Amino acid sequence: MKFSSKNKVDPMFSMASMTDLIFLLLVFFMLTSSFVTPSGLPVNLPSVKTSTIEMQKVSVTVTKDLQYFVNDKKVSKSMLEGELKSKLTQKGGSVVLHIDTDVSWGEAMYVTGIATALEAKVIAATKPK
């Protein structure tokens, strides 16, 4: 005696929902990757155990041969304060310092002093260990 079922199971699997999920993940990662904007200048950052990601409005980079850059635009040391003043339109903005490990503390404190005088929040960029 042969039993047959009226309900047949379709062995085909629809990938449409999986494709939608992959597309949404792709869009998510594309949008969030634009929030982290690393400096494109060759700077050897100090390393720390923990670090956080900060949205940077103004970036100041000091290379080991003491060249100053504000948002990847080369400026002289004497023009640094004027350039920062023009970039920091609002009080309480943030300045992210990308300072090479070979640069002396005096140069780092010079840039920090300018940013603090302009009432900006100063953040030192590091790389995780």
Q: Per DSSP, which regions of the chain are E strands?
A: 47-48, 58-62, 68-70, 73-75, 94-99, 121-124, 127-128
Q: Is 108 inside a domain boundary?
A: yes
Question: pTM of the prediction?
Answer: 0.58
pLDDT for residue 25: 92
Task: Assess whether pLDDT exceeds 60 at residue 118.
Answer: yes
Residue 70 belongs to domain with CATH number: 3.30.420
Q: Is 20 inside a domain boundary?
A: no
Q: Is 15 inside a domain boundary?
A: no
Task: Assess whether pLDDT exceeds 70 at residue 23.
Answer: yes
Q: Is 59 inside a domain boundary?
A: yes
The parent domain of residue 58 ranges over 47-128
- Please state, in angstroms and rounded to a whole number, the distance separating the CA atoms of residues 118 and 120: 6
pLDDT for residue 48: 60
Number of domains into which the chain is organized? 1
